[in-house]
Structure 1
């Protein structure tokens, strides 16, 4: 038993050391769906997102780099619809803990700039357009499965964060805090070079 524990510790240590000084390239594809009813009218929201990132692993457990996200959503009640396109660009820091040669858990903290373009439709015709700029801050815990030589899959089911958006033409200023564990699902791939 003692030999097994020593071998397991060496395996975990060798996995962590093999990643130090490498470049991380990865990305996630996300999907969010929400359905609600109000006074016998159903509202539905669907959002797709793509989030690539590139970073440098300067320590066994720490990676720092840049990220951006492109997202598109569609929501509304019957007859009224809203289409939204969003873009985020910023930096992230990742803390990773290897559990074995195959599995690691990590948490990404990202912050940066964001903007959104929104189009509102009333019975199929364009009713209004607006644009917004703001900032974001978020923390996302995830699981990494090493498939082969630093190439693997990332899985997350939400996170928490804070966002601001200031709309043009005297539009509203929006500040939102979110805690969406279990409401979103992200899957991605990453590779350390």
Structure 2
């Protein structure tokens, strides 16, 4: 089996704040592309995700705000194609614990509404499935202050739970995800 080629571009830009009464603006953007061979068939998959976030730091250690996520993926195998779109709109609460002037630990709780749309093209036949539900997740991270408030954010996964109910008596999905160490994200931030 050929080795899977995965290109991931993830740029997280987060403007974390160190004082009460400041605004947090941040987000992430990601892209991955994969091509694999199954027998005589080549399968191509492309994914894109954009997740903006805005918050207000109401206490030296606490921030509350809104978050969103917009995702899109396309998988093609021969004449068959599957397009999958996701949307999440919710709120977050972040607790930051400074360890020293260089390092801070933060944990973030996010929850909200999510929706999915799956469109499948199998030759001349097209099917569409739509669903919505809720999500909740906890993500720990480490902030490293590099110079003059510029720094890096590191997280290695989190704990997530979500539900999706599809329309027209479709299936109901419940997902519990514990992925510490399974994912790794690096972000750039600015404290001001």
Deviation at 1:151, TM superposition (A): 4.5
Change (3 A) 1:143 1:18: closer
Change (3 A) 1:154 1:136: same
Q: Are residues 1:168 and 2:167 paired? A: yes
Task: Give the match's secondary structure for 1:184.
Answer: coil
Change (3 A) 1:144 1:192: same
Deviation at 1:129, TM superposition (A): 1.0
Change (3 A) 1:91 1:85: same
Q: Are residues 1:59 and 2:64 paired? A: no
- 2:154 — aligned with what? 155
Deviation at 1:79, TM superposition (A): 5.5
Task: Give the match's secondary structure for 2:82.
Answer: strand
Deviation at 1:143, TM superposition (A): 2.1
Change (3 A) 1:34 1:185: farther
Output the aligned Cα RMSD: 3.1
Larger Cα Rg: Structure 1 or Structure 2? Answer: 1
Instruction: Deviation per CA, 1:123-155: give whole Å up to 9, x if none.
Output: 5x5531111111110111122233455454333
- 2:101 — aligned with what? 101
CA contact (8 A) 1:84 1:117 kept: yes
How many positions carry a matched residue from both structures?
Answer: 176
| Aligned positions of 1:1-193 closer than 5 A | 18-30=18-30, 46-75=46-75, 80-122=80-122, 127-191=126-190
If the length of structure 2 is used for normalisation, what is the TM-score? Answer: 0.74
- 2:7 — aligned with what? none
Whole-angstrom distance in 1 between the partners of 2:144 and 2:46:
28
Query: Any stretches of 5+ residues in structure 2 without a counterpart?
Result: 1-16
